[in-house]
A and B are shown apart, each in its own frame.
Chain A
Amino acid sequence: MIELQGLTKRFGGLVAVDSLTLEVRPGEVYGFLGPNGAGKTTTVKLLSGLLQPTSGTARIAGFDIVTDTLEAKRRLGLVPDEPFVYPKLTGAEFLRFVGDLHSVDEARQRRRIPELLEMFELQDRGGELVEAYSHGMRQKLVLASILLHEPKALLLDEPLVGLDPKSARLAKEIFRTLASRGCAIFMCTHVLDIAERLCDRIGIMIGGRLKAAGTVEELRRQASCEGSLEDAFLSLTGGSEVAALLRHL
């Protein structure tokens, strides 16, 4: 459903994403991990058409994001790392706007928008301008917007940041439900516990390259590590030197 083939992105002399090849199958939640600056957000931007690749291809539900961009975007839902939404629209108006952009029919929109606002406990604030929303509320609004048009592939960049525990739990349930309905989910996160519990497979990226990929068990084996995903991650990314660094504290 989400296919990357030799995807590369350069910014001048910097190679942000280097020959990335991976596939997220329908119904699969793929966790994308890596230290800061590894190229995770750049990958999400490439997949969502916000950036153009230097070389390689990215396909969403079989459609190339560069050459068949509109068809690919029709099947895509994006939750970016910073949920900036038009401050002068109300929450309900933003959902209406997204619904119209994705050609969601009138009757469905009028039924679903109040339902989604209620689901994320925004029903009392849905008529207020987004500029009055907190970070978490904006995050919930963006999550609600992707549920309105039922995407085939979902790109999530730190989707749980800023959410209260109840909403975070709800979001995780939603992702699992969507996956069970055949949606392919590509999720960047720094929260390893969530990745371990939520993701079917995980890819670890360092310096723009995919260093390791597989299930949690496979990653442990690759890292020759018996502990948690965190231990495997730190072993693969060189984070085990933390103890040495702490001496300088």
Chain B
Amino acid sequence: MRLLLRRKLLSSKNRLRTMTPWEWSRNAAFVLVGLWMLAGLRYGFHRLLSYLAGVELIGLLLIWKLTAMALLTTFGMIMLSSLIISLSTLFYARDLPFLLRAPIGLRTVFLDKSLETSFFSSWMIALAIFPFVIALGQVLQLGWGFFAVFLALTLPFLLCAAALGMLFTLVLMFLFPSSRTRDVVWVLSSLSVAALYTLLRFSEPEKLIRPDAMKLVAEYLDYLQAPTAPYAPSWWMTKALAAWAKGNWEVFLRQSALLCAAAAGAYGLLLALAGRLYARGYSGAQESRRARNPIDIPKTPELRLAERLGAGREIAILYWRERKCFFRDVKHWSQLVLIGALLCVYLFSISRLPLDTPDLKSLVCFLNIGIAGFVLSALGLRFTFPSISLEGRSWWVVRSSPLTVDSLLLEKWLFSLFPMLLIATALIALSNHLLLADAFIRRLSLASIWLAVGAMTAMGVGLGAVFPRFHVENIHQIESSAGGFVYMACSLAYVGFVVASEALPVRMHFMAKLGRPDAWDPALLALSGAALAAATAAAVALPLALGRRRLERYEGD
């Protein structure tokens, strides 16, 4: 095991040593921006927790309830992330054939890979909880000891969450070694997660944290004091932190010990099971599906359409290949199930917003452009941004063909554009319908989101080409790369700009509704329109131009 860890250490050391000054400065810039964002989060949490601390009688209860919910969410996200990543790291990693041929025990290889999975599935999510904990320590004036305790407990907490995800994958791969069955189970798992998520949201948990929804004050207090999830390690961690804050050492030690024992137990169980299940699961993973398809392939529908249109032949050829590859990869389209659930929950949340007046509803529909933009950016990070990198090691096929990089970029853009437009239209049109937005807001929000989707997908493809990673083992490495970060930042900044630039016309609209004469100012309208047009043109053209330049000169990741 020491040897295996040493190889990782040496790889990292060599990577650092061979970094060029440009790479150093680029990474330093990303770290600085990341720290700045974390500082912003800390500021936000500090304000929220300070407000809660000021609530009489129940302030502290509210703070710890919120902490329990934050830790439970973190735990769930890491578990899900580990479940998805472990399929690649435990069963399809490129170095596995070498490691399994070497005179190393199977459990040692598994332990090495499971530690890697735990790290990759948790570091980013764990980083996001830090600002909350720092704000918590500051608001409750808990001192440095609290942070040290949090750091010490974080390790078993993260290991526990990651181990549960891996346990699921291990058992799944053992029970369903054949690829077709595994695909079916993968889809069923996605369906279960989607159903659970939808059911959880439809149970309207927000009613519980609104005192007016409770019949009695005592009922509300009971809720605040009740465990959020009594058997989840996140609850043990919350209790341990709360006990430390109150100086209740016995509870602190008991809960900490429980958390550490759970982590040790989960890993112990994982390793024990690995000895029995891993070999069969790995062996099954190497088998591929032997589906029979016809050898005689008629002209593809895309090509027929291109010939009828008399244009776009290259794009049609690439589009056909992309469509085939995308829908045959069950890992891609099983996520469509999750998107469906996300849509349902989104619209349900919109329909439950406590809004009284028609104008307020219309205003929310306008602001909804920003929220829908955020959701679409996140989907773009998952589907659009990695599309160039997913050419993978077959990149040579396209690059050595008589094909322009422009055609490839355009095809990737179109492939993402249609489904994203569909989702965006569903999000905005149905939200407008549910909230009975007025005609102006309906038209404006739909036109805006279509414009934004066009720009965001172009940004996703363009920046994906600026930061190509053809040699990664799984898609999460692409999403969580520096390029993914740049894409998210640019996409969110653009969405923010769309909302900001339309704020003026919307203000004029409401002024006109209130009967104010001369509410519409044509000069300001033109200025707002011009700003939006310029920003959209830049958001489309700049990333695509940079991406083309990068791909034409690509010489390795």
Chain A interface residues (CB < 8 Å from chain B): 11-12, 48-52, 70-71, 73-74, 76, 78, 80, 82, 84-86, 88-90, 92-93, 96-98, 100-102, 106, 110, 113-114, 117, 123, 126-129, 131-132
Contacts and interface: CB of A to CB of B under 8 A. Distances in A.
Given A78-B396, A128-B291, A96 B553 contact: no
Contact of B317 (A89, A101, A106, A128): A101
Interface in B313-362: 314, 317, 320-321, 324-325, 328-329
Given A89-B321, A114-B295, A84 B396 contact: yes
Given A51-B555, A93-B297, A129 B328 contact: yes
Contacts of B396: 48, 50, 78, 80, 84
Nearest to A72: B402
A97 B291 CA distance: 19
Contacts of B555: 11, 51-52
A128 B397 contact: no
Given A92-B295, A97-B317, A131 B401 contact: no
15 contacts: A11-B555, A48-B400, A50-B399, A70-B404, A71-B402, A97-B317, A100-B300, A101-B314, A110-B298, A127-B292, A127-B294, A127-B295, A129-B288, A131-B289, A132-B288
Contacts of A80: 396
B1 to A, nearest CB: 31
**Overall SS of chain A's interface:** mixed
Given A50-B396, A102-B402, A128-B292, A86 B317 contact: no
A101 B266 CA distance: 52
Contacts of B298: 110
Contact of B293 (A92, A106, A117): A92
A151 B221 CA distance: 79
Nearest to B292: A127
B542 to A, nearest CB: 22
A126 B325 contact: no
Interface residues of B, number: 37
B265 interface: no
B303 interface: yes
Given A93-B293, A127-B292, A132-B288, A78 B400 contact: yes
Contacts of B422: none
Contacts of B397: 85-86, 97-98
A110 B402 CA distance: 21
Nearest to B552: A52
A131 B397 CA distance: 16
B308 interface: no
B290 A128 contact: yes
B297 A129 contact: no
A106 B304 CA distance: 11
Interface string B524-546: 00000000000000000000000
Contact of B400 (A49, A96, A100, A117): A49
Contact of A101 (B291, B293, B392, B401): B401
B2 interface: no
A88 B294 contact: no
Given A70-B402, A74-B402, A100 B293 contact: no
Given A48-B400, A129-B289, A132-B288, A110 B321 contact: no
Contacts of A101: 314, 317, 401-403
Contact of B328 (A50, A74, A88, A114): A88
Given A11-B555, A132-B290, A113 B297 contact: yes
Given A110-B297, A114-B296, A129-B291, 10 more contacts: A73-B402, A73-B403, A82-B393, A86-B397, A92-B294, A96-B300, A100-B317, A100-B320, A101-B403, A128-B292
A114 B296 CA distance: 7
B325 to A, nearest CB: 4
Contact of B394 (A51, A84, A90, A93): A84
B290 to A, nearest CB: 5
A123 B295 CA distance: 8
B299 interface: yes
Interface in B247-297: 288-297
Best-surrounded residue of A50, A76, A98, A129 (most CB of chain B within 10 A): A129
A84 to B, nearest CB: 4
B238 to A, nearest CB: 44
Contacts of A128: 290-293
B324 A88 contact: yes
